[in-house]
Structure 1
């Protein structure tokens, strides 16, 4: 959402709820903080901070910070820009500008992004019924909890309920990871596509690893930028 009124309203809710805010960077660095203030007149935010915290120092050096917080069933996510670490006396704080865009997701329905046409992310693993067959399946969409894969008609079917113990995801030039998959849904696509959609859950993810979240955020931002350019 980009409405200034809506953005201010959700930031105020975070402030009132004293909700924990997780700040993360592109290299996997993360820091958990509290929002201390949201100044509607100056359009500035203030967060708690600690001096001499290596995690915070690494995050600030990255120059690219994403903030994530939860309000009941709602996940809020926004870029933190113009971040300044203010030190003084016995306290220190992080000051930042109001976000121009705030993403709002329902936690029970994970937000999914479709990879950009210029990219060709793939999932690489051995066929569970034919271990000698190496597969590289195109990724149709990605969320924090799962992915959808395209299984061509000329590849032996993989049934729902099957677990893929070792899978390598190549999302883009900067993002790759080892995961396990649980196949939950096998759905026929339009006949002209000549393939099937596999709905997969990401199993045993290390949620302290922010690479997937960063990839989803960056992909969505690029998609929105492309749509804006087409107007």
Structure 2
């Protein structure tokens, strides 16, 4: 399950708030098939709670409150998000009913982080700046084909000396947009010719030397690019 586990507080908070803002339906399940469908009402990492809407008198809710194991599942488009809920209690106030639970510290995203890649939008072309590993005097400015939290694919033009698989590049600068430049390292894992017309090759790279700030910036870029792509697709329907 390590490929699916998310423990970064920034990512956990981001996904919970996306579920909240999307008014995504959430299914709360317990042992024996007990389940209750609801929505997130509030997400508060400072107080350490998540809050779900509820209705009084629902027998399914009462059955759920009697169990000690509750799992929450929601969807953001094709992404399934799952997390355990602890300390689930029913609260009343101002004529409303809600379910409070402890703020989850771990989420499971069932779309592999390493393979969940986004392609840059046509209006934005991220570029990777580095020196050729075999020719240190040669500076390379390679277009980003796609990117994830763990890897990036770069376009190597046909008139640039080939880069061999297995090569490690200690310093690379990723310009994701006009305001975001990240310093990372790369390991070249795969080199493949895209097609004869492209006149170039695809470098499949693993990101290394990624610190917390860089990871947060990458996560924000991946999320924002995904949101904008979906918005563009919806506007064209």
TM bin (shorter chain): 0.5 to 0.7
Q: Pick one of 207, 217, 221 that aligns with 1:215.
A: 221
The reply on whether 1:228 has 2:207 as its aligned counterpart is no
Q: 1:75 to 1:185 in 2, by over 3 A?
A: farther
Aligned to 1:169: 174
Q: Deviations over 1:139-197 (max 9, x none)?
A: 00000000000000000000000001000000112221000000000011110000000
Q: Deviations over 1:15-38 (max 9, x none)?
A: xxxx9683459xxx99x9xxxxx8
Q: Pick one of 49, 62, 71 that aligns with 2:46.
A: 49
Aligned to 2:130: 125
Distance, in Å, in 2 between the alignment partners of 1:216 and 1:163 is 24
The higher radius of gyration belongs to 2
After superposition, where does 1:141-160 map in structure 2 within 5 Å? Answer: 141-160=146-165
Distance, in Å, in 1 between the alignment partners of 2:135 and 2:39 is 62
Q: TM-score, normalised by structure 2?
A: 0.59
The reply on whether 1:194 has 2:199 as its aligned counterpart is yes
Q: What is the SS of the residue equivalent to 2:166?
A: coil
User: Is there any run of 5+ residues in structure 2 with no aligned partner, and where?
Assistant: 1-5, 17-27, 29-35, 49-71, 74-78, 83-99, 101-107
Q: CA deviation at 1:205?
A: 1.2
Q: Deviations over 1:54-104 (max 9, x none)?
A: xxxxxxxxxxxxxxx99xxx9739xxxxxxxxxxxxxxxxx9xxxxxxx95
Distance, in Å, in 1 between the alignment partners of 2:187 and 2:80 is 24
Distance, in Å, in 1 between the alignment partners of 2:80 and 2:8 is 11
Q: 1:119 to 1:46 in 2, by over 3 A?
A: closer
Q: What is the SS of the residue equivalent to 2:124?
A: coil
Q: What is the SS of the residue equivalent to 1:49?
A: coil
Q: TM-score, normalised by structure 1?
A: 0.60
Aligned to 2:140: 135
Distance, in Å, in 2 between the alignment partners of 1:122 and 1:202 is 15
Q: What is the SS of the residue equivalent to 2:9?
A: strand
Q: What is the SS of the residue equivalent to 2:211?
A: coil
Aligned to 1:116: 121
The alignment yields a C-alpha RMSD, in angstroms, of 3.6
Aligned to 2:9: 22
Q: 1:161 to 1:118 in 2, by over 3 A?
A: same
- Aligned partners of 1:122 and 1:139 also within 8 Å: yes
Q: 1:41 to 1:189 in 2, by over 3 A?
A: closer
Q: How many residues align?
A: 162
User: Is there any run of 5+ residues in structure 1 with no aligned partner, and where?
Assistant: 1-18, 33-37, 52-68, 78-94, 96-102
